[in-house]
Amino acid sequence: MADPDLASDPTVDRFHEALAVYGPALRASIHEELGDGTMSAINVEVDVARRGDPDGDRVVVTFDGEFLDDRWSAADEPKEPGCSP
């Protein structure tokens, strides 16, 4: 991590912890729902909201990212100029 202060930030640490715990299940859910692939971290929208709860407010974080299909064929591979297939 580029910023040492960010590495010790409690909020960032909780995100790392959540992804370490739930990452495999999130990956499996993405593959089950959409097929082999991943979510773009470049083409993504993030939303943070508060949800009231009698036991204490909750934080709702939504990542809305483009699905990037891992399946490709040689026909999809970029061709260099002057190269034959």
> Which residues are catalytically annotated?
14, 17, 40
DSSP label of 14 = H
> Which ranges in 10-71 belong to alpha helices (H)?
10-34
What's the CA gap between 71 and 39, in Å, rounded?
14
Residue with tokens 């508060």: 50
